[in-house]
Amino acid sequence: MATTPSPFSRFVRSEAFAGLLLVCTAALAFAWANSPWREAYFTLQHTHLSVALGAATLDFSLEHWVNDGLMAVFFLLVGLEIKRELLIGELASRRRAALAVAAAVGGMLVPAALYALLNGGGPGRAGWGIPMATDIAFALGVLALLGPRVPVGLKVFLTALAIVDDLGAVLVIALFYTEQVQWGALGLAALTWGAALLAGWGRRKPSLKLYAVLGLLLWLFVLQSGLHATIAGVLLAFAVPIRQPDLSLCTPSLLTAAQPGEEEEVGARLQDLEDLLERAQSPLHRLEHALHPVVTYAVLPLFALMNAGVSVGSGGLGVVSFGVLLGLVLGKPLGVVGGAWLATRAGVAALPRHVTWTHMVGAGLLAGVGFTMSLFVANLAFDDAALLTQAKLGVLGASVAAALLGAVWLLRTTRAQAAHAD
């Protein structure tokens, strides 16, 4: 009898597909931007679209709409995942959280320091935040390609590491890539966020439509405040409540096995039970499940299409590119393994079951795949087109190198362990 995949197995497979879709879209954008039809690509990228929201009219390029608008939905999903992991997931366990936090902090500080060694006194100094992030879709996608030979504990660790990494990236964006704050708009954003917090206070099933309206207002006020608009997604996520499922909705009649002659009712009864279980989920779980396909199939591919199209003819590799490469390919594994080693030596954490330090090196290499968040920070760090081109080339090159190095390392490690066991 076939076994039903666990929720985590399904999650890994979906992230693997997301990674493959991102690779294909990024390759398409890069090829388009360097083809004879490159002008059409850049014309599409800079086509303006105006939207009226009450008294406010927003007029941005398509690239701007994707990076400031659609990516807020991505950050909303990131925020929901962070909150879930902190409250009931891997980060709810003190020792597992300590390992992920220590590895993530090391994996952020060391790449930033290595980047600063090359660019600290030059025009590219603002890009120190670029090599700090890990792209969970790409990293888990590579792990999924290696199959069951990779310990499940390593996949869980890398997931927790990437989530802590995302939280760090959000803080970096909020604290260091905000030029000027408009306090009036920020006050309105705070009031809207307070309303979102109150929406789930004491209510058994707050409406997701209400959160959609409040989220749109919050995004608009944060956009006008000077903070990056995507921060609104994370703030809204922290306001969405998470509770234990209300299984009282599942009445005994639905759970009772069918009697002889009642086989025709089984399908309808199972459908009713599925619908009730869906309604019994907390608002956070319902919103997360609703957003995941939207982000996977629409938001991230559009982001890759708008941002991975780098014309090599408009500028080549430079010191910024080498800083990003050094940070992601070398700094990430050094920081991740070093942070995890310090945490275990201090006795506050332990490696997951069946995971060795050799596995951890492979995870550190895969953590150097920084595609989505690194490209996002690059857009915030540089207004100069030449520096932005250098940064994007560094991110793309480093992500490919980190994925290949991590895959080869883990493949050789698992084969060596299998041969030793035989």
What is the structure's pLDDT at 4? 55
The mean per-residue pLDDT over the stretch 390-399 comes to 93
Report residue 81's pLDDT band, with 50, 70 and 90 as the boundaries. Answer: confident
Distance CA 247, CA 239 (A): 23
Average per-residue pLDDT for the chain: 83
Is the distance from CB of 30 to CB of 305 less than 8 angstroms? Answer: no
Query: Which range is least confidently modeled, 233-237, 243-247, 406-410?
Result: 243-247
What is the structure's pLDDT at 244? 54
Domain residue extents for the chain: 7-177+228-245+281-421
Q: Out of 2.30.300.10, 1.20.1530.10, 3.40.50.300, 3.30.70.2740, which CATH number does the structure's domain 7-177+228-245+281-421 have?
A: 1.20.1530.10
What is the structure's pLDDT at 342? 97
Judged against a pLDDT cut of 50, whether residue 19 lies above it is answered with yes
Q: Choose among 403, 396, 398, 371: nearest CA to 310.
A: 396
411 vs 148, residue with greater confidence: 411
The mean per-residue pLDDT over the stretch 85-114 comes to 89
Distance CA 233, CA 242 (A): 16
Query: Which range is least confidently modeled, 9-13, 207-211, 284-288, 396-400?
Result: 9-13
Structure tokens at 228: 């990056």
3-state helix, strand, coil in the chain (%, to 5): 75, 5, 20
Length of the chain: 422
Judged against a pLDDT cut of 70, whether residue 301 lies above it is answered with yes
Residue 261, classified by CB atoms within 10 Å of its CB into exposed (0-12), middle (13-18) or buried (19+), is exposed
Give the torsion sign (CA, 311, 312, 315, 317): positive
281 vs 129, residue with greater confidence: 129
Judged against a pLDDT cut of 70, whether residue 253 lies above it is answered with no
Q: What is the pLDDT of residues 150-188, one digit of tens each?
A: 888 888 898 889 888 888 888 888 888 877 788 898 999
What one-letter code names the amino acid at 207? S
Q: Percent of the chain scored above 90 by pLDDT?
A: 40
Is the distance from CB of 333 to CB of 373 less than 8 angstroms? Answer: no
Q: Percent of the chain scored above 70 by pLDDT?
A: 84
Q: Choose among 308, 391, 368, 384: nearest CA to 135.
A: 368
What one-letter code names the amino acid at 20? L
Report residue 1's pLDDT band, with 50, 70 and 90 as the boundaries. Answer: very low
Structure tokens at 371: 């595609």
Q: What is the pLDDT of residues 103-159, one digit of tens each?
A: 999 999 999 999 999 998 889 999 999 999 888 777 877 777 777 778 888 888 988
